[in-house]
Amino acid sequence: MIWNPFKATSQNCLGIDIGTSSIRIIELSSSGKKKKLENYGELSAEVFSKKPFKVLQQNSSLLSNTDITEAILAILSETKMKTKKAVFSISDFSSFFTWFTLPWMNKEELPDAVRYEARQHIPFPLSEVVLDWQIIKEPSPRQEKKNLKILLVSVPKEVIEQYREVASLVHLELFALEAEVFGLCRALIKDKMFSLQSEEQGTVAIVDIGSQSTTASVIDRGVLKRSHSFDIAGNELTHALSKSLGLERKKAEEIKQKYGLSQNHEFSEDIRRVMLPFIDLILIEVEKVCQNFYKTEEREIRKIIMAGGEALIPGLDRYFSEYLKMPVEIANPFSGVFYPSILENNLKKMGPLYAVAVGVGMRGIE
């Protein structure tokens, strides 16, 4: 028998991101305050079934359950992950975010007041959605009893049911479900940033460009203040390249990933001419979110963090930085996580792709 009274108990959790083009699973463990990467794996829809894992509908993104179940089981068996506890991310497209203020009241009165107020803000019947909310600004004890600022997230019941069903079909214990953007915040916004002297340092935007959708969010001193999802993303870029340059989709994908916006090669002018109008459309939306935040809160965004597969397009970070006139970083969700040093180079390239999975996985080991 091993007797080790000082060993901190460790716990493991899976973070599962069901994206349109790929499913990614990360296994994390914690021992005391340390977070450790135990395992990871992914399967792309292209390889698995040639069909996307999710389809966008009017106001949500629906899962193709059979393919997803089989793909998750395949990843778990290939990587030999044994952990059963899992947190799944819900597509931002299926999550509706809204912010409002309520007069100061006791905590016991709040749930009813939030539900009542939610009716004015949510464009669907309350009976069809699940609500989650948090107080984002409470008056300090010395202040007068002022208003309470509330962040409310609503997700269609149908979507929640689908994730529950998937978890049960793959025999995982569903510890939590959370919107992708919350996973990104946990993985990418480090506490240290918010303890810096200047308050402004604490305002950043995260732009997650996937294959089907893009989400631009503003995080102010650790709190989500804006989030907007729209359906211009990687697929549009690949499709435009394939159509305009007369290439097969696979070839178009290849040159997008290889050359991107880089210059001084024989295809650079053609590729830039086709891709830039779509990239500018994404930037216009990102700019709108940033400006809208600035107009109401009068706080400047100091940095953009790019996540999602498109963040890896060569030269895109630089183009974003020049267009938005601010520093741009590529997501590195592994910065506070221990891992074998041999993985260093791989993890750098995986950062933007695994950021959501890492962030929701962390929720289960906190």
> What residue ranges bind ligand ATP (CB under 6 A)?
19-22, 54, 210-213, 233-235, 238, 253, 257, 308-310, 312-313, 353
**Looking at beta carbons only, is 19 or 156 nearer to Mg ion?**
19
**Looking at beta carbons only, is 113 or 276 nearer to ligand ATP?**
276
Nearest distance in Å: CB 50, ligand ATP? 14
**Looking at beta carbons only, is 94 or 154 nearer to ligand ATP?**
94
Nearest distance in Å: CB 92, Mg ion? 8
**Looking at beta carbons only, is 56 or 326 nearer to ligand ATP?**
56
Nearest distance in Å: CB 180, Mg ion? 6
**Looking at beta carbons only, is 233 or 362 nearer to ligand ATP?**
233
Which positions touch Mg ion (CB under 5 A)?
Answer: 19, 210
Residue 212 partner contact from Mg ion, ligand ATP, none using kind-dependent CB cut-offs of 5 to 8 Å: ligand ATP
Residue 351 partner contact from Mg ion, ligand ATP, none using kind-dependent CB cut-offs of 5 to 8 Å: none
3-state secondary structure the chain: CCCCCCCCCEEEEEEEEECCCEEEEEEEEEECCEEEEEEEEEEEHHHHCCCCCEEECCCCEEECHHHHHHHHHHHHHHHCCCCCEEEEEECHHHCEEEEEEECCCCCCCHHHHHHHHHHHHCCCCHHHEEEEEEEEECCCCCCCCCCEEEEEEEEEHHHHHHHHHHHHHCCCEEEEEEEHHHHHHHHHCCHHHHCCCCHHHHEEEEEEECCCCEEEEEEECCEEEEEEEECCCHHHHHHHHHHHCCCCHHHHHHHHHHCCCCCCCCCHHHHHHHHHHHHHHHHHHHHHHHHHHHHHHCCCCCEEEEECHHHHCCCHHHHHHHHHCCCEEECCCCCCCECCHHHHHHHHHHHHHHHHHHHHHHHCCC
Residue 156 partner contact from Mg ion, ligand ATP, none using kind-dependent CB cut-offs of 5 to 8 Å: none
Classify residue 121 as exposed, middle or buried by CB count within 10 Å of its CB (0-12, 13-18, 19+): middle
Show Cβ contacts of residue 68 under 8 Å, excluding neighbours closer than 6 positions: 18, 23, 53, 166
Residue 279 structure tokens = 């990239």
Nearest distance in Å: CB 75, Mg ion? 16
**Looking at beta carbons only, is 86 or 233 nearer to ligand ATP?**
233
Residue 350 partner contact from ligand ATP, Mg ion, none using kind-dependent CB cut-offs of 5 to 8 Å: none
Nearest distance in Å: CB 322, Mg ion? 25
Residue 359 partner contact from Mg ion, ligand ATP, none using kind-dependent CB cut-offs of 5 to 8 Å: none
**Looking at beta carbons only, is 22 or 60 nearer to ligand ATP?**
22
**Looking at beta carbons only, is 148 or 286 nearer to ligand ATP?**
286
